[in-house]
Every structure is written in C-alpha cells, then in structure tokens.
Amino acid sequence: MALINSPQTYHLNQKTIFFPTPLLSKTMDIILNLSPQDKFGLSGKENANCFGGILNYKKEIIKVALSVLLFIIIIGCSSDSPTEPEPAYPGSWYSLGIQWAHDGDPYETENFIVYSDAASREARETLADIAEEMLSGLKLQMDIQDNSILVFPAGQRKIHIYGYKNHFPTEWGGRAYFGGLMIYSLDHPERTAAGHTDLDVYEAVVKHELTHVVQYQLLGTLDYNLVDSWFSEGIAEKISESNPDRAVTTLERLESLVATYGELNPISIKRYNYPDIEYVAVNYYYPMFQLAANYLLDPPRNIASWVDVKEMFLEIRNGGNFTSIFKEKFGIELTEFESRFFDLMREYLH
C-alpha cells in the first residue's frame, strides 16, 4: 500500500431522466372520454351506419398514436432534454470492499487491463505502458521465467488496474489486491495533493503496488496472515524505492528517526498494527521496513537473493510457515532479528 499525507474529498452528482407522463395521461383521457357515438358511430337508431362509426374511431386512434410518436421523436432529438446517467460497471477491486465503478471503456495490453471511472485514453495507455515495463523488470529481478507460477483469481487472465480520477482516498494513493491494483490516474484533478507530480514518483508507486500483486500471485491468495506485513512492505519498498527522501541509508538518519519516534520496532508489525501516531507509517515504519530488507539482501551479508525471496513465497503457498522459512533463507531466527534489530542496524550502517 502506498500512503499519502493530504486528505481530500470528491463528490459526484448524477443526472436523472423524467418521463413525460402528463402528455401520455392527456392522450389516454382523449381515448377514454370519447362518447359511444365517437367510438362506434352509434346514434341509437337501428339503421345507424356502424361501419362509418368504426372508421371514425380508427381515425381518432391513429391521430392520437401519431401525436405520441411525434412527441417521442422530438424529445429524443432534443439536446436540452435530460439524459440517462452513464452506465457504471463493477470490477475485481470490489473484493476490497471499495465499490468504485468503471465506465466500461478498458484499455488492454499483453499483461494488463486498465479500467477507470473517467481517466483520459492517454492516461490509461500511459499507465498500462508503465505497468508493463515495471512487471518486466520484476520478473527479471526475481527470475520469474515461467508465468504459470503466477496465479490469478478464478476467471481472470490478466492483472487489473483501476486508475481512479473522480475519487481521492484520505489514507492511501495506491493499493494492491489479489489480481490487481488501484492508483490515481495521471490526469487526476487533485494529483498534486498526494505529492506525486513527478512521473518518476508515479512509476515508483506503480512498481510498489505491482510488487504486492506479484507477491499475492506467488502466494496464490490475498491472505495477509501468511507473510508478516513488515516483510511484504519492506520488499515492495526496496524494489520500488518509492520514498528515496525518507530512506534510511545512514546512521545519522536512523538516529534522527529514533530521536523523533523512539525505538519503535518495525519487525513487531505483523498485521499493519501501527500505533496511533499521525503519519507514523509513511514517515517512520516504511523507511524502517526498507532498511530491514536492505540488511537482509544487500552486502555485506549477501545470504539471500531475490530468487530466494520468490522461492520463499512459493514455499509458503505450498504450506510452509513464514517464521521457519525466514530462518532457512536468511540465517537468523525471526525472534532474534526482532530483539536485536536496532543493534544490528547500527552495526550495518556504521
């Protein structure tokens, strides 16, 4: 999940169509209130011309029908008449409980289908191009040569992306799920409020969320309980480098965060259970998650590789336990890594 700092709201009004019942009622009155003589030409005399009366009745019916037909044609062609609201379609992201419909005009590439509520065609195409490039890089980095190991939800064959334009969530700018991701469109009217005006930053957010999508595909599920949150987010932050200004790459930076927040242990975050401190996730924990991933995968340790990370997710999919596989891949007990975290990081950054 990519977090943002500036809450905004957006409201959408819907149009309503009105049906012209007064006129239809009037025409029905004309028919229903015709006298028997008008309807059937009967004057009460035995020698009445019934055929002529019926003919008069048919003429009245034809006149009314033509009048109604003419009115419908005029209304249908009028540019000032109310129109039906644009059709809205559900999507796979509804599984998150976020019921934001799309407009039925998706853009499809080799590996993605980009949906949106109102983004321009150019914005959809650019988002798809970015996603294709990021996915290619991810597969290369993790040595994913066989696409069959990437599981999709039932009935789905490509990754879904919802690029929203007429929404602005207050707690996140991008969000991943099993089979897809959500992110603000490049032509979002409030895009600057998220601080993501540079294309490089936008690409990094896409890559972060796409990393989660690949993680879920390797796991074959959206079960957050299978992998600790700190590890999942740390891997996504390391791969995407979506917050370079907040990254902890020096001892001075580490001590600055500790001085501000205290020694809040990032390895204790198993299920996104952050303390109630404003923006603590984006300003403190996400940089710490990335630091933990750097320690585990970068020199001087070099114990595990990105291929090991891929294999770790696959082993968990096949019934393995995160805690035991962590020790196997990284050579340290998870409990020890948590208890010694700050000492290990200070040694690493020294």
- In this predicted structure, what is the pLDDT of residue 172? 81
Helix and strand numbers, DSSP H then E, in the chain? 13, 5
Instruction: Identify the CA nearest to 141 among candidates 15, 268, 297.
Output: 297
Taking phi first (over 0 means left), then psi (-120 to 50 degrees means alpha), and beta for anything else, what does residue 331 get? left
Q: Is the pLDDT of residue 15 over 60?
A: no
What pLDDT does 261 receive? 97
Q: What is the pLDDT of residue 342?
A: 98
> Based on the number of CB atoms within 10 Å of its own CB, is 146 exposed (0-12), middle (13-18) or buried (19 or more)?
exposed
323 pLDDT band, cuts 50/70/90, is very high
CATH number belonging to domain 92-349: 1.10.390
CA–CA separation, 330 and 303 (whole Å): 6
Residues 27-45 have a mean pLDDT of 42
Domain ranges, ordered by start, for the chain: 21-77, 92-349
The three-point CA angle 168-154-116 to 5° equals 25
Give the percent of the chain with pLDDT over 90.
62
- Residue range 124-152: mean pLDDT, rounded: 95
pLDDT in tens, 72-126: 444 444 444 444 445 679 999 999 999 999 999 999 999 999 999 999 999 999 9
Reported as a single tens digit per residue, the pLDDT across 239-288 is: 998 888 899 999 999 999 999 999 999 999 999 999 999 999 999 999 99
Q: Coil, strand or helix: which one is 33?
A: coil
Residue 57, pLDDT score: 45
Average model confidence (pLDDT) across the chain: 81
pLDDT-derived band at 34 (thresholds 50, 70, 90) equals very low
> pLDDT-based confidence at 190, cuts 50/70/90?
confident
**Per-residue CA distances from 274 to 228, 266, 269 (Å):** 13, 9, 7
Q: Do 318 and 149 form a contact (C-beta atoms < 8 A)?
A: no
More confidently predicted of 243 and 196:
243
